[in-house]
Structure formats: structure tokens, C-alpha cells
């Protein structure tokens, strides 16, 4: 986007742990979408689904928040907001509208309501625009939690502009930003191996307790409709929780999401591994994987009881999809859609200088300047200055 040519030494060095986290998190997103149709008939699939959804979206939002800028946006940041988020959203929302029309639906472009996975782009745009204002407040993380819990009581907040999820998932985005303020990367990379594995042992234990708790209480979790809470896209009363304490469940899940996000990051390799180079392709995976899963989702191929092997097969398929969409070939082909540069749309000059011109008539109205006080050297009058 910038016209300035950078030498290789001026590029920011990528930290492997974050690229590793990006790729694993987006792969879990694909897995969660792939097994959705299996959870109604399979307790095992439902257990895997709840386990993944307890942390994979919070991690994805947290990583996005970690790299978000909280200062006043400059021209470069505003352009990136358009090219990285707004333009891809408009492109893919249009594509999904055409697909629905070709399959027999009405042709109706409604950019205020996101199709399937595109809600994240809309939410991300709002978060990035709002973060500089939110961090002006004294307790941005606490305020974001209050906003999220409180939004669940309001039935008027719906899917338009992905507002329910934007407000619901806001704490995880702010939490990611706070991790950067706490300089977690430097602290984590400085840990000695012995201390490192103590933390990792605690993270493994936390995930083990989570998996065991879900597996032993799967019927209760179905009854409690925990899945609906984890989606953050409805008011509590819309799925049967009209009680005043319903927000306490969301609060508990938010705090659990914070703990699992940290545990997830603790388990990520700190050095370059084979998935590190794939971490820069997460947006390609996110925007393109739904086109492969859509036929399985809509044709009914995964409806009804299925053989036990179908669940691991869908997990393997999800990993393959993530790997394929991480390749350079895919990125080169789909870059105009996922990362549209749109140079033709932007002005060459990022801004236009403006000022207030003092006209001769205004000078006449102001009258002559008063004489200088006695004993002071008279200075030549200065020309009027543009404000």
C-alpha cells in the first residue's frame, strides 16, 4: 500500500509463536464448521464441537486484538481497513448472494446482514475502529466484559451488522490487545525450558479437565443449551434463559475463554516449525473454506445418524482444506478477492491541505492595528496566518 520502498532490513520480523497460533486456530474453525451437522445425532461429535468452541473463537479474536493498533489511525491504517476487511467483505457477500440466487433464492444484496462466516469481517472492522476510543477509558477490558454480558439481555440487538456477535466477542478482542500491553511475547520467549514446561503442564491439565468435564456431562450440556451461549449471537431469552442470572453463564464462559486462550498460546511452539509459514494465510482459509463445506452442509449428506468413522474423516478433511488453502498457488490465484489492493480507487495524495483564507474585505473590517506602546520597538506587521 505504501509508495515507499523498504529495504529487507526494515521489515518487521514475524514472531513464530503467533503464526503458529494463527494457523492452528483457523484450522479449528474449519473443523468446527465441518462437524456441525454431526452434533445432533452424535454425543462424541457434540463433545468435540463444544471442546473446540470453548476456546478456538476466543483465540482467533485474541490474536486479532493482539495486533490491533489502539492509537489514532493514520492514512495507511485506514487504507488497510478498506483493503483487508471492507473490500473482501463486499466481494464475498456479493458472491454468496449470487450463489443463493443460482440455487433458486431471491437476488437481494443486503450488506447489513453477513452470510455465514462473513460476520467476522464486519465485527473486526467495528472493533478496529472502536478500539482507539475504548482504550481512552480507564478499564477497557472490564468495560468490554460488561458490554458483552449486558448485550445478552437486549433482544433488540440482532444479526444486523453482526452486532450481537460484535458486542458478545468484544472482550476477547480487547483481551488480545491487553496481552500485548502486558508484553506477554517477550516474557514467554524469555522463559527457561524448565519453567516453560511447568506452564505447559498446567495448560495441558486445563484442557484435559475441560475435555473430561464435557464428555462426562454431555447430556446436561445439551439440556442447558451451552452451545447457544458459545455462539454469542442471541439474547438469552431467545433460547429460554429469561432469568436475571443468565448473564452469569456468559461471564463464566468469557473468563474460561481467557484462561483457555492463554493455555492455548502456552502450548504453541516458540520457534519456527512446518506450520509457521502457513500462518500468514489465515484469511484465505477463513474466506474460502466455506465454499467447500457448503455442499456438504446444504445437500443433507451429513444429516442423520452416521458411522463412527465420519467424524474423524471430517476432521482430517478440515486439516487438508486448511493446508490446501495455505499454499502459494491458492494465495496467488485468489489474492484479488481476498487481498484486493484497489490502487486505482485511491488518490495519489493521501490528504488535501486546507486552511482559512483571510480576504481583503475582512482585513478592512478588522481595521488598522493599534499603535505600539511607547518605548517598545515597532515591529513590521505580520501577514495574516492561515488557521
d(CA 274, CA 6): 27
d(CA 4, CA 44): 54
Residue 5 has a pLDDT of 35
What rounded mean pLDDT belongs to the chain? Answer: 87
The SS3 of residue 119 is: helix
d(CA 37, CA 45): 9
Residue 50 has a pLDDT of 97
Q: What is the pTM of this model?
A: 0.85
Contact (Cβ atoms closer than 8 angstroms) between residue 340 and residue 83: yes
Point out the least confidently predicted range of 12-16, 145-149, 202-206, 350-354.
Answer: 350-354
pLDDT band of 303, cuts 50, 70, 90 = confident
Distances (CA, A) of 210 to 168, 256, 378: 22, 10, 82
For the segment 335-357, what is each residue's pLDDT rounded down to a tens digit? 999 999 878 888 776 555 555 55
Residue with cell 451488522: 161
Contact (Cβ atoms closer than 8 angstroms) between residue 175 and residue 65: yes
Residue 300 has a pLDDT of 82
d(CA 178, CA 257): 14
- The percent of residues in the chain predicted with pLDDT above 90, rounded, is 67
Give the mean pLDDT of 296-321.
Answer: 91
Residue 6 has a pLDDT of 41
d(CA 151, CA 235): 7
Residue 371 has a pLDDT of 58
Residue 369 has a pLDDT of 55
d(CA 296, CA 302): 6
Highest-scoring range by mean pLDDT, 263-267, 303-307, 375-379: 263-267
Amino acid at each position: 500500500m505504501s509508495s515507499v520502498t523498504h529495504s529487507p532490513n526494515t521489515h518487521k520480523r514475524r514472531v513464530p509463536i503467533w503464526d503458529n497460533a494463527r494457523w492452528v486456530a483457523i484450522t479449528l474453525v474449519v473443523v468446527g464448521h465441518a462437524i456441525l451437522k454431526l452434533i445432533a445425532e452424535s454425543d462424541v461429535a457434540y463433545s468435540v464441537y463444544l471442546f473446540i468452541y470453548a476456546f478456538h473463537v476466543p483465540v482467533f479474536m485474541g490474536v486479532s486484538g493482539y495486533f490491533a493498533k489502539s492509537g489514532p489511525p493514520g492514512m495507511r491504517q485506514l487504507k488497510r481497513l478498506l483493503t483487508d476487511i471492507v473490500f473482501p467483505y463486499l466481494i464475498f457477500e456479493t458472491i454468496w448472494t449470487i450463489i443463493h440466487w443460482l440455487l433458486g433464492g431471491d437476488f437481494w444484496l443486503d450488506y447489513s446482514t453477513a452470510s455465514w462466516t462473513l460476520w467476522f469481517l464486519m465485527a473486526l472492522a467495528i472493533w478496529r475502529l472502536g478500539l482507539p476510543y475504548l482504550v481512552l477509558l480507564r478499564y477497557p477490558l472490564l468495560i468490554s466484559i460488561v458490554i458483552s454480558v449486558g448485550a445478552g439481555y437486549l433482544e433488540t440487538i440482532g444479526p444486523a451488522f453482526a452486532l450481537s456477535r460484535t458486542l458478545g466477542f468484544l472482550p476477547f478482542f480487547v483481551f488480545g490487545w491487553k496481552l500485548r500491553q502486558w508484553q506477554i511475547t517477550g516474557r514467554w520467549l524469555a522463559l527457561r525450558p524448565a519453567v516453560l514446561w511447568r506452564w505447559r503442564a498446567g495448560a495441558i491439565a486445563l484442557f484435559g479437565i475441560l475435555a473430561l468435564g464435557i464428555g462426562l456431562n454431555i447430556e446436561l450440556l445439551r439440556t442447558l443449551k451451552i452451545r447457544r451461549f458459545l455462539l454469542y449471537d442471541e439474547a438469552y431469552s431467545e433460547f429460554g434463559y429469561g432469568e436475571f442470572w443468565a448473564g452469569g453463564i456468559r461471564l463464566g464462559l468469557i473468563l474460561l475463554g481467557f484462561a483457555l486462550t492463554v493455555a492455548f498460546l502456552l502450548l504453541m511452539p516458540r520457534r519456527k516449525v512446518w506450520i509457521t509459514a502457513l500462518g500468514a494465510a489465515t484469511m484465505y482459509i477463513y474466506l474460502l473454506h466455506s465454499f467447500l463445506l457448503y455442499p456438504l452442509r446444504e445437500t443433507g449428506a451429513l444429516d442423520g445418524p452416521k458411522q463412527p468413522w465420519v467424524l474423524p474423516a471430517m476432521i482430517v478433511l478440515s486439516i487438508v482444506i486448511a493446508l490446501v488453502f495455505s499454499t502459494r498457488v491458492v494465495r496467488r490465484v485468489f489474492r484479488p478477492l481476498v487481498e484486493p489492493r484497489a490502487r486505482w480507487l485511491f488518490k495519489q495524495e493521501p490528504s488535501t491541505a486546507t486552511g482559512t483564507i483571510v480576504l481583503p474585505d475582512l482585513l478592512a473590517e478588522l481595521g488598522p492595528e493599534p499603535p505600539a506602546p511607547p518605548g517598545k520597538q515597532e515591529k513590521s506587521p505580520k501577514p495574516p496566518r492561515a488557521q
